[in-house]
Structures are given as structure tokens and as C-alpha cells.
Structure 1
Amino acid sequence: MPVYLDIASVLEQEVRERYVPGDYLPPEGQLAQRFDVNRHTLRRAIDELVNTGMVQRHQGKGNMVIRQPSEYHVHSGAHFTKNLIEQGARPRCEVIQHRVFVAPMDIAANLGVVEGSKIIHIRTLRKTEECPRTIIDHYLANIEWWSILKNYQSGSLHEFIKRGLDIELERKETRVGAKTPTGEECRLLQITSSTPILRVKTKNVIKGTDMVAEFSTSNSRSDATEIVMEH
């Protein structure tokens, strides 16, 4: 077994036994000296922990231990933010983009609207403990909601809709798959191109009806997310 994998194994065990999310590992120079290897070998060992989602590099600060994979529960009342809060995490939402745009064929088909219709698009980046976890693209069919949704800045989008529009959404359909990350996804999620993306496509309806109000696509770090199917 290569030396860097031996070092990674030792560090992984120490992280599990001695560290909590938010702690930093000793400086790389100190670890290289401890294991009697050069910094290149030590960095390869750290890369293993980064790729498995145990630590995250913070430029100028070091290597921080992060929370282990979050559970993504799939049922009709599931909400991303609520899921994380119930697991003791402190989720944060960053709105990257919100706009009105013309629906392409695939999005229009999922929303049940005519191709070329004007719809609302909101893209968010979800983090826990400052670790980026998921990019979500929300597509909403009712353009009349824009006067309210253009003010959305943080927190649960569904809670914002409930407060601002007195409308409650619930999950109707979920499709789970995997994909290779794009360069933009690697940048936003702070992952390497070898880390697969867990993709969840969801149709949400207005509660009590079959009217599809939202189609969303979430692209999550596969090393930081576990899907839980409830039956």
C-alpha cells in the first residue's frame, strides 16, 4: 500500500476519535514531520480525506474537519432545510441567481407549461458549517409569484412561499441519479472533478391539488449526502 494511503488511514481514525466538525488538523508541515514524509506525500494523504468528505481545505487557515454525510429524507413533506435542521446542522442558503426567463423544452415539460413560457428560476447554494453541500435550481411556473419571490434571499424557499403567498407545496415525484460535475459545480461545491454529483429531480405541487408549481434539480456532493427512502 502506498505510504500516503497509510497516513490517510491513520488520520481518518484520528478524525473519527478525536475531532469534531469545525476543528482543524495540525499544520501540514507539522504532520509531514510527524510521519517523516515530504509535503507532497502528506498532501496526497489529505486529498484522500477531502475526497471522502471528512475534511475541507480552507486557504490560509488549514484543513477543517466537517460534518459527516447529511441524510436526505424522501417523502411528500420533505424539505431540504428542515431535513438539515432536524439533524442538528446549521444550514445556510446563498441565493446565486433569481430571474424570469423563457422555459426550454425539458423544463417546460416538467412544469406542464408551453415551451417558451416565462417562468421563474432561482438558484441557491446550501451550506452547513460553511461547507458547500448542494446547488439547487428551482423552476416555478406561476410568473405572478415573481413580485414576491424576487425578494427571496435566504432560508427555506418553501417557507418563504408559504409566508408570502399563503401557498403550501408538497413533493409529488422524486427522481434520483448521478452525474459528473461541471467546472462550475466543482467551483461552487469545492470538490474535484472525480467526485460524483448526486442529482435529485423533484416535482412539487400545490398541496391538495395535482397542479405542479415547482420543478427543482438539486446537485449535491455525493461524499456529503445520503438518500433515505421512507416507506
Structure 2
Amino acid sequence: MKRQSRPKAPRTTPAAAPLQRDSATSLYRQIADQLEHDILAGHFAAHGKLPSEHELTVRFGVSRVTVRQAMDALLAAGLVVKKQGKGTFVAGQKLQHDLHSMQGFYDSLIAQGVEPETRLIEFAAIARPEYVDASLANPSGQCFFLRRIYQVGGEPIAMVCAYLPADAAKVSWQQASENPIYGILERLLQLRIARADVRIRAQPAGARIGRELGLGPRAALLVMERESFCSDGTVAEHSSFYIRPENYEFLLSAQGPLPISSSIRGATRARVEQLA
């Protein structure tokens, strides 16, 4: 798998322009606008750290509350991310996963011009969990388990836990490190993937996944659960991707025609009761 070079050090931030304290635009909005300009102008490198809360209060001559409001505005706009115990950083490239076409997680990053680093953490035979299809296991009830971290710019963005056929025992650690999941299945195990069912949900990171992704246990994650099938309907793999949500989104295009239901039930009655 390809690797990406480390990001460059943050550039020097220009001096703050004077705030217009008698303007109708709030102080926090003026600060947010200046920082947004600095980010978009490249004064901070991608994934670069922003000045601390204290540094910004001194720079702009405002209270911590005002600085926090400005940072919250940048966070809401997707321009920055907060990392527990480390500070606030410039958000990286917004990444998308197109659900309309069948594509692996790694290949979807490559298609967007990103060259992620990967780190294989676990690749071993384990007892098949009950929620994993029995066709992945051998007669002794074992399947193969893979756990991998994906990084962009040196920062973890996702972790995958994948259950593979027991035949993956013939795949070496080196081969598993160098191939994405679909590469292991198609190139090394000679399986032909015909379709996949994908489910998306949100959940807290928890202690273990949070540590791997640099998040607190209560931080929200996107979870993409995928089950892939061969042309004969046999399950080929069952994967769960735990994704940091700040720079990742899923895209699905829906085609018409658009069916429209009858009028919303109870809406008129509720309005009448409010006017009574």
C-alpha cells in the first residue's frame, strides 16, 4: 500500500487585523472570519495546530468566552477539529465515500487523490462471533480476523475490524499488510465479489477504539458495517469501519420518480388546538 509523506510545519500566522468593536458584526464572528481567511490562505498547514485559546485572547484582546465562540463557529463550519488534550487543528481534505458504486474503503481514498498510510494491528484465526455468517468459518468454527488503522497526514482517520474466510490462513502477514481487504479476497483468495450490503450508524468510540483513533471514549464515530457476497450468494467478508466523522461523509445519489405520501396526519388538528 502507498504511504503519504508527513505534513509540513505550520506557516507563520500574520498579525491580527484590528477588530471593529462598534461594528454590527459580533467580535467572535470577526475573529472567526480572520482565522478562516488565514486557514484558506494557507497560513496554517493542513492538519496544522492553531494558536491556543490563551494566545488568541492576547492576539485579539478579547475574553476566552469570545475566543471559544469563534472556535465553535470554525468547528461548525468544518474548518477545524478539536483533539482531546492536544488543541485545535486545521481540518484536512473533506473525504467522501460514494455508496452508489461498489468500492473498497482504501480505494475510495486513493480515488480522491489521498495516499493513506496503513498499519496492520491484528491478523489471526479466531472463533467466529455469532453475528458473523457461518460460511466464513472452517469446521472447527474459526474464521480469520483483520484489524487495521488508516492514517492521512500522520493522523488516524479510521480503523477496520474485518472477518474473513478461514482460507485466509494461507495469506501471510506481509501480504495482508500490502493488500486492502478486497485485494486479499480477490487477488489472494481468488474470490469474486459481486455485491455488498452496507449499513451506516453512529456510536461512541469507547475506550479501545478511542485510543487507536486519538479520541475520548465518548467521542462520536461513524460506523460503516459491510457484508460482501460472491456471485453464488456466499458471504465473503464482514467488516466494520470505525471512522472519525469530522472530515468524512457518505454520498448516495437517489433516482426519481418521487412518490409523495398523503398529507401529514394530525397536522391540521394540532394547528386548530393551538389556535383555540
Q: TM-score, normalised by structure 1?
A: 0.77
The verdict on how the C-alpha distance between 1:202 and 1:95 changes in structure 2, with shifts beyond 3 A counting, is same
Which of 221, 228, 231 matches 2:251? 228
Is contact 1:50-1:57 (8 Å) kept? Answer: no
Is contact 1:180-1:196 (8 Å) kept? Answer: yes
**Unaligned 5+ runs, structure 1:** none
Which of 191, 199, 203 matches 1:179? 203
Note the C-alpha offset of 1:164.
Answer: 2.4
Which of 140, 159, 170 matches 1:147? 170
SS in 2 for 1:125: strand
Which of 41, 60, 71 matches 1:18? 41
SS in 1 for 2:177: coil
**Larger Rg computed on CA atoms:** 2
Is contact 1:53-1:224 (8 Å) kept? Answer: no
2:164 corresponds to 1:136: no
CA deviation vs aligned residue, 1:24-65 (integer Å, no higher than 9, x gap): 3554364342123578986886587578572465999x8542
Note the C-alpha offset of 1:68.
Answer: 3.4
CA deviation vs aligned residue, 1:60-108 (integer Å, no higher than 9, x gap): 9x85423233101114521111111111212121112111110121124
2:155 corresponds to 1:103: no
| Residues 97-106 or 21-30, more deviating | 21-30
2:113 corresponds to 1:88: yes
Which of 201, 213, 218 matches 2:236? 213
The verdict on how the C-alpha distance between 1:26 and 1:13 changes in structure 2, with shifts beyond 3 A counting, is closer
Letter in 2 for 1:97: E
Letter in 1 for 2:96: E
Work out the CA distance in 2 between the residues paired with 1:193 and 1:44. 25
Work out the CA distance in 2 between the residues paired with 1:170 and 1:12. 47
Work out the CA distance in 2 between the residues paired with 1:192 and 1:5. 27
Which of 196, 200, 207 matches 2:220? 196
Q: Which has the higher strand share?
A: 1
Work out the CA distance in 1 between the residues paired with 2:160 and 2:146. 8
Work out the CA distance in 2 between the residues paired with 1:122 and 1:17. 38
Query: How many residue pairs were aligned?
Result: 225
SS in 2 for 1:215: strand
Letter in 2 for 1:117: G
2:191 aligned residue: 167
Q: Which has the higher contact order (CA 8 A, sep 6+)?
A: 1
1:35 aligned residue: 60
Note the C-alpha offset of 1:214.
Answer: 0.2
Is contact 1:108-1:114 (8 Å) kept? Answer: no
Moved over 6 A (4+): 38-41
Q: TM-score, normalised by structure 2?
A: 0.66
Note the C-alpha offset of 1:137.
Answer: 0.7
**Unaligned 5+ runs, structure 2:** 1-25, 255-276
2:93 aligned residue: 68
Considering only aligned residues, what root-mean-square deviation do their CA atoms show, in Å? 3.6
| Residues 148-157 or 3-12, more deviating | 3-12
Is contact 1:8-1:48 (8 Å) kept? Answer: no
